[in-house]
Amino acid sequence: MNLIVPRIQSQTANHVDPDWWRGAVIYQIYPRSFQDSDGNGIGDLAGIVQRLPYVVDLGADGIWISPFFRSEMLDFGYDITDHRDVDPLFGDQGDFDALISRAHDLGLKVLIDLVLSHTSDRHPWFRKSRGSREGAYADWYVWADAKPDGTPPNNWLSVFGGSAWEWDGERMQYYLHNFLREQPDLNFHNPAVQQEQLDIARFWLERGVDGFRLDTVNFYFHDPDLRDNPALAPELRSDSIAPLVNPYNWQEHVHDRNRPENLAFLRRFRDLLDEFPGSAALGEVGDSERGTEIQAEYTSGGDKLHMCYSFEFLSNPVPSGTRVAAVLEEFESHSVDGWACWAFSNHDVMRHATRWALPEPALRIYAALLLCLRGTVCLYQGEELGLSEADVAFDDLQDPYGIRFWPRFKGRDGSRTPMVWSREGGSGGFSEAKPWLPVPKEHLGLAAASQQTDCASVLNFYRTMLSYRSRNPVLAKGRLKVHEATEERLSLVRELEGQRMVCAFNLSGRPQEISLPEGRWTVDATAPFAAGDGRKLAPWQAWFGLADET
């Protein structure tokens, strides 16, 4: 169902800083698990509206909402059947308009998750495409003949396991799917496909959104010659994109993603965004070998995406001081004008409290570190409560990814369990019905309502740290230089318009001696850590100092 509606005026049109996104803190909402308003056990748009004041109190500048479009829900909204309508599970167009209006009234920007690389196999486009090798939609998806022996056209693999090619007996060809077989990939070499995706983006911009999170932005194009991917050396294999039980990691993905043709399309996408002053695009770069390089490439020059995140800090290695410094320096080496977005958790990876086995004091120090990096920051719902990864029993699993690779890989459900708002009831204030995923008992003790009244809670630390970042633009937008980096400590120097600040972090459970840059430094007593001389840091502590220019 496609609706034609008048444009809803966005707050971005009212003399708002067009660079609001640069250094902003964006709070990711997974709508199925945020707040259920109608008692069916699934979160919805009206539930998001109900909880927006919480996001404002936290101190975020905007929200990113994971997909709420019409979908078969095999991949929970990422297998779309209509990009221009709201799935009834989440509400309707009126609910979305109310969300935009309320968010803007509260001063929040709204980014929505735009899935352009693939659709559901139930999408009308795919039904038409598989029906005939002729006609307007014949070339909208990536079709290829079998090899003479009937096997797939090449060796490309799916992120979700197995071959990336599925045989279609109706069209008598294989089609490409980088994810589920029910998620066929669109053919971005077709100009009509590109134009339709731009028109979809325009539709939502005219409804009032402030921009987009672009799902799998480096997967849009494929090698038209369908060349095999080369093997990847075992020592270079990483589990940042797919679990190690999946041989997807055994290839160097040079022909099925990261194609140079993508840059021209991203410029077209930026031209569209520039028609709506203040709108912005956040790209997800899924790559384990060249993530920071592509992140920089896609955001450089001011003519492509505004910001990108990759999986360097969403992967398993704990971000030690040396690792953080290496990632920052790698990004800067590829672009002097690109803009990064940094995140530790999201809906696709294990929550970082569990992934890195962090004690509660470490949650604070890593939150402070994240909020002191140069770039935009994404926070995933519940990380501000210190939520751990939920252990979801096999019988309760919903994620097809986890069901396929159980028990070596349990999928993504553990990071998608419902938000806990109160300790009462079994669903933590999320729903009056049985939630679509169970709420772990251990999460109930971390409920937002309980933490709000505890000055020493993780939630109140996040609030304090976000407020500190907001009061000090040097942390959001200033230049960054690594002063000292070891496995257990890290010191950063930030500078903006004459203000210089040093941020020193003890990333360990034992005291650390640190060095400060040359010059006179005065402790910033307003920082959310115990003041000291900056020479010796207690376990899991930080020190913030301001340059004394007198």
* Domains, the chain, ordered by start: 11-117+191-469 (3.20.20.80), 477-547 (2.60.40.1180)
* Cis before 407? omega within 30: yes
**Which segments of 258-320 does DSSP mark as H helices, in order?**
262-274, 291-299
Tell me the residue length of the chain: 550
Cα–Cα dist 282/217, whole Å: 9
CB within 8 Å of 316: residues ≥ 6 apart: 239, 240, 355
Can you tell me whether residue 519 is helix, strand or coil?
Answer: coil
Residues 374 and 372: their CA atoms lie apart, in Å, by 7
Model pLDDT, residue 424: 86
Stretch (H or E) spanning 84: strand 80-86
DSSP one-letter code for 10: P
CB 61 within 8 A of CB 26: yes
Residue 533 is predicted with a pLDDT of 72
- Is the overall model pTM greater than 0.75, yes or no? yes
Q: Which pLDDT score is estimated for 238?
A: 87
> Would you please indicate which residues are annotated as catalytic (active-site) residues?
215, 275
Mean pLDDT for back-to-back runs of 10 residues, the chain (550 residues): 36 67 98 98 98 98 98 98 98 98 98 98 98 96 98 98 98 98 98 98 98 98 98 90 92 97 98 98 93 96 97 95 97 92 98 97 98 98 98 97 95 98 94 98 97 97 98 96 97 96 96 91 92 83 88
SS3 content of the chain, % helix, strand, coil (to 5): 30, 20, 50
At residue 9, the pLDDT reads 40
Residue 111 β-bridge partners: 64, 211
